[in-house]
Structure 1
Amino acid sequence: MENHPPARYERAVRKAQADGRIPALAVALHRADREPWVLTVGDSGNPEHPLGPDTRFRIGSITKTFTAVLVLQARDDGLLDLDDPIAQHLSVPAHGDATIRRLLSHTAGFQREPYGDIWDTLQAPGDEEVLAQLDRAERVLPNGRRYHYSNLGFAVLGQLVAKLRGGSWAEVVSERVITPLGLGATTLDAPPQAAVGYVVDEFSDAARPEPQTRMGGAAPAAQLWSTAEDMATWGAFLADPATADPRGRVLAAATLDEMRFPATVTNEALWLAGFGLGLIIEPQDRFVTHVGHDGAMPGFLASAYGRRGGPGLPAGLGCGVLGSSGTARVTNELVHELLGLAVELDPAGIEPWRIAPPAPQPYRSILGPWFSEGTPFVFSWHDGALRARLAESAADVPPAIFEPVPGQPDVLRTVSGREAGELLRLTRDEAGVVVRMHWATYRVTRVQEGFDGGAASDGGFDA
């Protein structure tokens, strides 16, 4: 019996809207080989603009991922170093030793919110106040001690990039991220087609509209509005920038690789999620992660994630889920369900294997089995690169991949996988055949040897 992915997607969305009692729910799936799939269920609460694909929702803390991208852009442009203390770039009355890297990964120990009870007053401090009041904000944990989520930290990062770029944060994020990626429905403030956000009563089917709170100087942490389709595109960009932004107009793919590497876990005992540089990393199946962020504001919950790794993964797979209830946690669960369904029900096509050119002559004598530390490895040439893997590794374990070091014909750099960053040095005999290698300084030989250089097969004992 044939699966019908859109029907399965729609059932999952409709079930989440009903079970979660979400007044309006908008969902989109983005992938490079299909038109976007978009579905809305419910009522916008806005009589002049019924619910549809262009309905706007608050995306809350997904905004932080935009700010994080701006910070890494500034790093790549030479305007800052991630290990700079913020006092090197901003005039602050306290906590100036907090580094940019620590603020991005929520490990600087800053209290969660800017000074004052802003969720009681619904009055956020302005741009200058956020920084001027840092001496009234606590460092609730020692610097680098552990993960502690902080809107204040990202408010400071937003003011940092605004100063470095010579404009407001809103101007900079629009010019340098939103416009280049074509996210035309992502805006600072609510447009006329905005959905109404609600708090839904726990014990009845009543719902109360929530106020539209402006975040002021904390806008870089939570201010933006958007559509599900824009957020699915954003999730695809965070996970697969080489597909979503092939010219690197917004950020180099290698920089997003850096942002996605976990800097901390959110719970020391349950390693269910981690934080990179402004991004949440949620492990799924074996070697599969979802990368993005969730958001919450009065009356709204949102999620934007992209999927990485695993068999059947389509290029540029991202999902956006936006809901108009501030309490329906199913909103944040649905995004992961849909990304999984997209691969299960509609996997990427299987490309036929084709004959390719052989390995370059200088590397052909490397191919085949070797031993290091007594353990068997296999070196091979695929997709235009030298690779190595443990002989016993499962097929889905990513191999080590090497690239030649310019100007050193017999030295290669490990660019990914096992021993990433380390050198592979080749030793040849008089005929030019590679007879020995050193990988991360460990000897690599054709026969199994002990660390004294003796063959394991010799035994080492007299008869």
Structure 2
Amino acid sequence: MSGSVLLPTTERALAHRLAVEQATYRVPSLVAGVVRDGKLAWWDSRGRADGWAAAGRPTADTQYRIGSITKSIIGVVVMRLRDEGKLDLSDPLERHVPGAPMGNRTVAQLLSHTAGVRAESPGEWWERTKGGDWAELAADMDGEATVDRAGRRHHYSNVGYAALGELVARLRGQSWFDAVRAEVLAPLGMDRTTPAPVAPHATGWAVHPWADVVLPEPAHDHGAMAAAGQLWSTADDLARWAIFLCGDTGAVLAKDTWEEMREPAAVIDQDAWTEGYGLGVQLCRHNGRRLLGHGGAMPGFIATVWADPAERTGVLFLSNTTYGGIRGKLDLAMLDILAEHEPAMPEEWLPAPSFDPTLLALTGPWYWGSASIALHLRADGWLELRALAHGGRTSRFRPDGDDAWIGLDGYYAGERLRAVRDPDGTVDHLELVSYIFTREPYPQTAPIPGGVDPAGWRGQ
């Protein structure tokens, strides 16, 4: 996965921004990439990954630590377990990991960092030391695993993802990484994503704050804490991950489950949110875009990947510096450069390859009281309820048996839409929760809750 399909002016702007970031923040080496329409459309690098000779220039196949991006990959396996019926997201952790010190917190709360679990493990800084097993970690917390009531707010927790790693291991009967490799990495072709470095790989450095000198950083196996940030990866592999995050989930994850993961479960900045968290993924709103992805930082390394499913675009970077100042700058700047120089083309509209003719009778305007909505038949066979002039709620619905559909998002998520027919088979009205949708506002013959005044509509 290499090469470019971008315009030369776009490439130049991206390369310039990459060079500015590397020089300004004194990053030993930096690799960045752009994903477009299911492939790595551009990548470039600056600096040296291992040593300072020209031969040390990193490529799209050079490994870097990706830190907490590991969490999103763990999250996918947890969601797969849910889809298989092996757990429920509302299950308390102790149902699957008996004796866990945060055992009364749910799987969903751990995934979304709303469990009120402590941020870091007790004892020495786990990111710079060798870790023990789950039993040691659980014992070390000694009744101090939680710092807040469950659900109160977003509180980022590396310990919470250590617990999810143990959950995966117990339900799969193998290490969390073996499960990740079999269920996510191998199907996506991410063969260069590993728990320990495999050459060619970058060396992690700390850059002195007041001098142009560097210090090598340690890299250990973090044991039970590894599920919070152990993995190494490459630009090529992260591009494949970005494609997955854009919605090309293939056989790895059901599309509905991917949608569920990227729904905001917690807002980080409360006033007018730009940052949030879903189920295993960080969320961001930037210049009208709704992004999902994750950042990662370990001693000597910083990495980030963001995906914009609406435009089938993703951006990523990997670097070997403990603190480079680039996080939240280079990644979003690349998206802005793409929007300015080469905005994504909308997908070409094509008529549906096939459709159910009986559904055409359901399309068009309907009324909930005096509020107007329209029912649209999508090319994928799903229905979409769209608000019209008088406002209302928008939701998509997938088929759920004859004349029934289940809401996928918005106010009606999980609710059942039904078409109610007359004896001759004609659709008389739609039922959605307690609402009645009719072809005219407040018709006399429809079963409107509370009834309709027999005098009907009137003037003064």
Q: TM-score range by the shorter chain?
A: 0.7 to 0.9
Secondary structure in 1 aligned to 2:159? helix
Q: How many Å apart are 1:188 and its aligned residue?
A: 0.8
d(CA) in 2 for partners of 1:183, 1:456: 69
| Structure-1 residue corresponding to 2:395 | 400
Q: How many Å apart are 1:436 and its aligned residue?
A: 2.8
d(CA) in 1 for partners of 2:96, 2:344: 46
> Are 1:72 and 1:255, in contact at CA under 8 Å, matched by a contact in 2?
yes
* Cα distance change of structure 1 residues 132 and 77 upon mapping to structure 2, 3 Å threshold: farther
| Structure-2 residue corresponding to 1:421 | 414
Alignment of 1:203-282 (within 5 A): 203-240=210-247, 243=248, 245-246=249-250, 248=251, 250-282=252-284
Secondary structure in 2 aligned to 1:291? strand
> Are 2:39 and 2:239, in contact at CA under 8 Å, matched by a contact in 1?
no
Q: How many Å apart are 1:110 and its aligned residue?
A: 1.4
d(CA) in 2 for partners of 1:322, 1:100: 30
Unaligned runs of 5+ in 1: none
Alignment of 1:141-156 (within 5 A): 141-156=148-163
**1:102 is the counterpart of 2:109:** yes
d(CA) in 2 for partners of 1:356, 1:404: 16
Q: How many Å apart are 1:445 and its aligned residue?
A: 2.3
**1:327 is the counterpart of 2:334:** no
Report the TM-score when normalising by structure 1.
0.86
> Are 2:33 and 2:40, in contact at CA under 8 Å, matched by a contact in 1?
no
- For 2:24, the aligned partner's letter is D
d(CA) in 2 for partners of 1:439, 1:234: 37
d(CA) in 2 for partners of 1:358, 1:199: 58
Alignment of 1:288-299 (within 5 A): 288-299=289-300
Q: How many Å apart are 1:391 and its aligned residue?
A: 1.2
Query: Per-residue displacement from partner, 1:236-286 (whole Å, max 9, x unpaired)?
Result: 21231xx2x42x1x2222222221111111233352211111110111243
d(CA) in 1 for partners of 2:26, 2:72: 28
Q: How many Å apart are 1:20 and its aligned residue?
A: 2.0
- Which of 117, 122, 130 in structure 2 is aligned with 1:115? 122
Superposition misfits of 4+ residues, deviation over 6 angstroms: none
- For 1:107, the aligned partner's letter is T
d(CA) in 2 for partners of 1:204, 1:150: 33
- For 1:388, the aligned partner's letter is L
**1:364 is the counterpart of 2:360:** yes
Report the TM-score when normalising by structure 2.
0.87
Secondary structure in 2 aligned to 1:271? coil
Paired residues, number: 445
Alignment of 1:331-370 (within 5 A): 331-350=327-346, 352-354=348-350, 360-370=356-366
Unaligned runs of 5+ in 2: 1-6, 443-447
**1:83 is the counterpart of 2:90:** yes
- Which of 182, 198, 220 in structure 1 is aligned with 2:189? 182
> Are 1:239 and 1:308, in contact at CA under 8 Å, matched by a contact in 2?
yes
Query: Per-residue displacement from partner, 1:10-51 (whole Å, max 9, x unpaired)?
Result: 122112212222110011222335554221111124368612
| Structure-1 residue corresponding to 2:11 | 6
d(CA) in 2 for partners of 1:331, 1:393: 43
- Of all paired residues, the percent bearing the same amino acid is 34
Secondary structure in 1 aligned to 2:72? helix
| Structure-2 residue corresponding to 1:377 | 373
d(CA) in 1 for partners of 2:378, 2:98: 52
Q: How many Å apart are 1:424 and its aligned residue?
A: 2.7
